[in-house]
Amino acid sequence: MQARLLGLAALLGLALGQSTALRGEITVWSWDIAAKALEAVVPGFNKLYPNVKVKVVDLGNQQVYDRGLAGCAAGGMDLPDVYSVENNEAEVFWSRFPNCFTDLTGLGAAQLRKDFPEFKWTELTMGSKIFAIPWDAGPVVIFYRRDLYQQAGIDPAKIETWDDFIAAGKRMLQATGGKVKMGTIANGQDDEWFRMLANQNGCFYFNNQGTAVTINQPGCVRALEIIKKLVDAGVVVFGGWNEQIQYIKAGTVASAMFGAWYEGTIRSNAPEQAGKWGVYLMPAAQKGGTRAANLGGSALAIPASSKNKEAAWAFVKYALATAEGQVTMLKEYGLVPSYLPVLNDPYVRKPQPYWGNQPIWQLVLGTLGKVPPARGTQFFQEARQIMTTIQADFLAGKYKTAKEALDAAARQLSQATGLPIAR
């Protein structure tokens, strides 16, 4: 027993020695709430690594991206020690500047793979190399107004398919004299509903190898057909980001479908509606189908030019691969963890007062293992612009069928990227 205690003391002493041996300053680039969330984990990190000073710089989303590209083009000049990157844009860096970022497998990243859902790794790896560690995720759910659903006699537990959602939307219109819709689609401004529904149905702009255009495959056709059914039924309204928030505040939409990071958007923009909101799973295309998808999410990478990679890696691991780091960011800023062990944390099971005391994080994080993988590739933004226009044209009647519209999108995307259309 005494020998075991002495061995434990020796291990603790070794760990303490390693943590105090790390020293110096590291700089972290991020944006907005993400930057604030990273600042929130610094005190916990410094309890373990007291000799490492962490400087988080909020440059804004576009500036982080633009300065990252410029720094990589200049051979790694003026880049930070830790770099925030959105999943959908990550492959722009790995493809165009394969030597700009550190392959984290040499620092032990492969051991973390099992602790994150596989879909989060799809855009962060190239062959056997791991260029970034998953940060927040965007598991898709439906946020809904409990009071408006009750007023219309709608039980969210009975909404299992998109046909059920449409039927509920018609009841909502009837109960409110046509004043309240079930959701908002950013038609002509974004294609986020298409991306969520396509991902749910196992389809995306490109295949998971990033070698072919798949936007006209059956799962994507099904996604666009569902959007058309929602629009034709009159249960959704068109509007962008700002309009969506206005409709929520005014109570003229009863639901919002987004990645779960939208929880903080609703809570901060409509604090007076506390207790009136709840969450349920996104409906499936058919009974028994997948009720999970992902929209958005970020990762942390370490530029190859960092002069303090060990300290940078220690910070990345603490922030993203410990329950303490991830729950701090969830609790303070609503950033949804990708780290699967967080499911066992007491806070995740805790009822949330704003959401009618529903333990929403248990429901949200429970979908992570069910999300089909999707790959944005380095051509994500081109694909998004093409699909936003195609969707608007289809809903305006320019194409007879969803398949015809997506065949047109596939041709444009193939021409823009040089990738073949999958057969």
Handedness of CA 294, 300, 303, 309 (dihedral sign): negative
CB 305 within 8 A of CB 79: yes
- DSSP per residue, 72-132: HHTTSTT--SEEEEEHHHHHHHHHH-TTSB--GGGGTGGGGGGGS-GGGGTTTEETTEE--
Q: How far is CA 400 from the centre of its chain?
A: 33
Q: How far is CA 57 from the centre of its chain?
A: 22
Interatomic CA distance for residues 119 and 371, integer angstroms: 7
Q: CB 34: neighbour CB atoms within 10 A?
A: 23
Q: What is the pLDDT of residue 17?
A: 52
Match 């991306």 to its residue by tokens. Answer: 195
Residues whose CB falls within 8 Å of the CB of residue 334, separated by 6 or more in sequence, listed in order? 33, 261, 263, 264, 267
Lookup: tokens for 124: 């962060």
The 8-class DSSP code of residue 181 comes to B
Q: How far is CA 133 from the centre of its chain?
A: 14
Q: What is the pLDDT of residue 324?
A: 96
Q: Domain residues of the chain, as ranges?
A: 23-138+296-361, 151-294+371-417
- Give the CATH architecture of domain 151-294+371-417: 3-Layer(aba) Sandwich (3.40)
Residues whose CB falls within 8 Å of the CB of residue 166, separated by 6 or more in sequence, listed in order? 229, 230, 233, 235
Q: Which amino acid is at 372?
A: P
Q: What is the pLDDT of residue 379?
A: 94
Q: CB 10: neighbour CB atoms within 10 A?
A: 10
Find the helix or strand (DSSP H, E) in which 40 lies. helix 32-48
Q: What is the pLDDT of residue 21?
A: 84
* pLDDT tens per residue across all 423 residues of the chain: 555 454 444 444 444 455 678 999 999 999 998 999 999 999 999 999 999 999 999 999 999 999 999 999 999 999 999 999 999 899 999 999 999 999 999 999 999 999 999 999 999 998 899 999 999 999 999 999 999 999 999 999 999 999 999 999 999 999 999 999 999 999 999 999 999 999 999 999 999 999 999 999 999 999 999 999 999 999 999 999 999 999 999 999 999 999 999 998 899 899 999 999 999 999 999 999 999 999 989 999 999 999 999 999 999 999 999 999 999 999 988 899 999 999 889 999 999 999 999 999 999 999 998 999 998 899 999 999 999 999 999 999 999 999 999 999 999 999 999 999 998
Give me the CATH code for the 23-138+296-361 domain, please.
3.40.190.10
SS3 of 44, please? helix
Q: Pairing state of beta strands 52-58 and 24-30?
A: parallel
Interatomic CA distance for residues 136 and 334, integer angstroms: 10
Same fold, 23-138+296-361 and 151-294+371-417: yes
Q: How far is CA 263 from the centre of its chain?
A: 12
CB 82 within 8 A of CB 316: yes
Lookup: tokens for 211: 């070698």
Q: What is the pLDDT of residue 2?
A: 52
Q: 145, exposed or middle or buried, with CB in 10 Å at 0-12, 13-18, 19+? A: buried
Interatomic CA distance for residues 200 and 285, integer angstroms: 8
Q: Is the pTM of this model over 0.85?
A: yes
- Burial pattern 342-375, b for ≥16 Cβ within 10 A else e, equals bbebeebeeebebbbebebbebbbebbeebbbbb
Closest Cα to residue 115, out of 325, 258, 308? 325
Q: What is the pLDDT of residue 15?
A: 46
Closest Cα to residue 144, out of 239, 286, 229, 266? 266
Lookup: tokens for 321: 């691969």
CB 352 within 8 A of CB 360: yes
Q: What is the pLDDT of residue 29?
A: 98
Report, in angstroms and rounded to the nearest whole number, the Rg of the chain calculated over CA atoms.
23
